[in-house]
Structure 1
Amino acid sequence: MVLKVFGFPTSTCTRRVGVVLEELNIPYELIVVSLPKNEQKSAAFLEHQPFGVVPYIVDDDGYEIYESRAIARYLAAKCGSSLLPSPSDLHKWGKFEQAASIEQSNFDVFAASIAAERVFRPAKGLTSDENIAQRHTEALAAKLDVYDVILSRQRYLAGDECTLADLFHLPYGAMITKIGINLLEDESRRPHVARWWKDISSRDSWQKVKDNLPLTSSQ
């Protein structure tokens, strides 16, 4: 039995899981849950993911888990990957958890809000609020100025090795960059962020899933 990902190919959270699967060379099958058809709100789906959002996975032994970051941690721990430092190395583990918290509190909350106004709402035929988008863009710019200080001292957010905390930035970072928000690539203002972003966004794992998570993977 191969690991199954119940998600949508262009979903940011589904691709967050996908990049980790590719990093770890774990074969998987994508079971498409149609977001346009609201299949994630069906009774059958809610039995597995009670919040009605994608993705969730069913591992090859039948184990189920949802929430993209939790899934990523589970997979990395299962494989013993350095993408997730072991709690037995308390200092590395602490720096990883610090970096993971930085991503959720200082990046995702703003990047996701920008995407909501400039990508998701227009795609649904809804009116976006440019004031909200601009406010979150300015807030994210200020946060990334701090990132640049951190990354001037080390290669990645948790130290000199890439971890899940870095990879977690990829889906929304790529989305806002694609629509012309140049915060991650501005070498003149944030040279260390630009170097870091070029590094993580050029990884083979991300190249495989950056546009659509493949339906199957068989490393």
Structure 2
Amino acid sequence: MVKLYGFPNSTCTRLVALICKEKNIPYELIQVNFMKGEQKAPSYTAIQPFGQIPYIDDDGFILYESRAIARYLIRKYPNQGTPLIPSDPKANALFEQAASIEAFNFNTFVQPIVNEKLFKPRRGLQSNEELVSVLLGLLQSKLDAYEVILSKQKYLAGDSVTLADLSHLPYGTAFYGLGGVFAEVFDSRPNLSRWWKDISNRPAWLAVKDGA
């Protein structure tokens, strides 16, 4: 069984748990109390030198970085659960294109907005509303491009769901949950909204949405 060292509500921990659910991979969550800074303890950084969560121990094979973990698990179990990464060279290239879209045209803007609006207030810090406004404006044009792509196909890499789509869920859910103008940027674009409702209601995500 895969041992997942992380925090139940962490975005990156839930991404790995989501992939385990999609691929029907049993895992054991070993809690690292992020709020208490346990990921910075010498015993932890001896394994994960950046002091971040999560990492996995797969029968002695240690791997960190949630995107790398997700790819590893999907490729290790290609015929189990949902495929998520295509093997055909052209389909795989379209997947990698979609994965880059998520990393650089979505996460780049959504993650810092979530940090400012959600994570900072939880730590008693003031959010930088000017930064949020700038990032939101930049995100709008990116999501216009999403709308164009999703008007032609069901998912970002074609008509089958991939890791590129699912990678939006942890931070995207936190962003959408802010409500108001943040939810509106999804809801006001019909194809984007259709896609978001599709992926955010997948049983695997619903199973880990509130905790890995």
TM-score, normalised via structure 2 length = 0.95
Asked if the contact 1:184–1:197 (Cα under 8 Å) also holds between the matched residues in 2, the reply is no
Write the mapping of 1:109-120 to structure 2, written as runs, cut at 5 A: 109-120=108-119
- Give the match for residue 135 of structure 1: 134
Query: Does residue 205 of structure 2 align to residue 182 of structure 1?
Result: no
Query: Does residue 152 of structure 2 align to residue 157 of structure 1?
Result: no
1:83 maps to amino acid: L
Asked if the contact 1:103–1:168 (Cα under 8 Å) also holds between the matched residues in 2, the reply is yes
Whole-Å separation in 2 of the counterparts to 1:6 and 1:183: 35
Q: CA deviation at 1:212?
A: 1.0
Q: Deviations over 1:31-82 (max 9, x none)?
A: 11011110011111111111111000011x2111000010000000001152
Whole-Å separation in 1 of the counterparts to 2:50 and 2:184: 32
Asked if the contact 1:173–1:184 (Cα under 8 Å) also holds between the matched residues in 2, the reply is no
1:168 maps to amino acid: S
Structure 1 alignment gaps of length 5 or more: 214-219
- Give the match for residue 56 of structure 2: 57
- Give the match for residue 76 of structure 1: 74
2:51 maps to amino acid: G
Query: Does residue 132 of structure 2 align to residue 168 of structure 1?
Result: no
Whole-Å separation in 2 of the counterparts to 1:43 and 1:107: 33
Q: CA deviation at 1:183?
A: 4.2
Percent of aligned pairs sharing the same letter: 52
SS in 2 for 1:31: strand
Asked if the contact 1:184–1:193 (Cα under 8 Å) also holds between the matched residues in 2, the reply is no
Query: Does residue 192 of structure 2 align to residue 193 of structure 1?
Result: yes
Q: Deviations over 1:179-212 (max 9, x none)?
A: 11114541xx311100000000000000001111
Whole-Å separation in 1 of the counterparts to 2:169 and 2:20: 14
- Give the match for residue 25 of structure 1: 24
Whole-Å separation in 1 of the counterparts to 2:133 and 2:8: 28
- Give the match for residue 85 of structure 1: 86
Q: Which structure carries more helix by proportion?
A: 2
2:69 maps to amino acid: I
Aligned residues: 207
SS in 1 for 2:107: helix
